[in-house]
Structure formats: C-alpha cells, structure tokens
Amino acid sequence: MEYKHNPPTLAELRTERRPLRAPHREIRSSLSFFESLAVKITRGIGTMGFFLLLFFWTAGWLLWNVYAPLEWRFDPAPAFVIWLIISNIIQLVLLPLIMISQNFEGRFSELRAQADFEINQKAEKEIEVIIAHLENQNELLLELIHKIDRR
C-alpha cells in the first residue's frame, strides 16, 4: 500500500538530531579571568544586601556628620565632600564592571535565543512527522472503512 506521506521513523529522527546545546556552559567557558571576576562582583553588588549596606553607610555617615558633637565630625555638612569623593570612586569602579557584566549577559541571551530557536526547529520537524503519521493512519482507516462498506 502506498501512502501519500512517508515520514521518517523515530530511529531516523534520532540519527538526524544534533545534540542540544548548553549556552550557559559555552559562555562560562569562553569568559576571561577578568570577565568572570566582573560577573562575580556584579552578582554581589546586584543584591538587596549591597543596597542596604550602601543605604545604611550613607545614612550613618550623613547623620553622624550632622548630629555628632562638632569635634567628632569629620565631613562637615552640607557639602559632605569626603562622602561625595568616596561615593564617586565607588561608582567609577563599579560602572565598568556592570557594563562588562551586561555585555556578558547580552552574549548569553543571544546564545540562549539561538538554542531556543534550534529546539523550536526540532520540535516543528517532529510535529510535522507526527502529523504525517496521523494522515497515514487516517488514509488507512478510510481505506478500511471503504473495504468494510463494500462487504
């Protein structure tokens, strides 16, 4: 019996199938020492704990220099020059690290999108095979129904 569709078998599909990619492993293995260091630092500073540390450090600094006895104040209000210098140094150090980490995340996102696209292509091909098998079954059932009706 000749069928309209001749889909591949499961074994044939498995031989054609390329192995799935792991984008996170590909990216992590391609990072230089400094890139991986930047990612680790960025993970640390991108937390609520780091935000709270900076918030309480700033609040403590400002409150101390406003309300402490005059002889204990080391950064006079309202300028807080030392605090501004230290804050700017922290920003100058962290901003390039954040940019490096964002570049890393961008590359990772592109690889992940490519891997998702490949998975979707495989799924689409497998769905087409399943539909072809179902159409073959429909043809076979219709043929059987016609044979039964003739009797």
CA 22 from centroid of its chain's CA atoms: 12
CA-wise closest residue to 94 among 45, 32, 33: 45
Asked if residues 65 and 82 have their Cβ atoms less than 8 Å apart, the reply is: no
| Tens digit of each residue's pLDDT (9 = 90 or more) over 13-34 | 777 777 777 777 777 788 888 8
Q: Which amino acid is at 116?
A: D
| Tens digit of each residue's pLDDT (9 = 90 or more) over 44-87 | 888 999 999 999 999 999 999 999 999 999 998 889 999 999 99
CA distances from residue 123 to 37, 109, 110, 117, 129 in whole angstroms, order as listed? 37, 21, 20, 10, 10
pTM value is 0.62
Q: What is the reported pLDDT for 42?
A: 87
Residues 108, 23: Cα–Cα separation, whole Å: 7
Residues 36, 101: Cα–Cα separation, whole Å: 9
Q: How confident is the model at residue 3 (pLDDT cuts 50, 70, 90)?
A: low
Mean pLDDT of the chain: 87
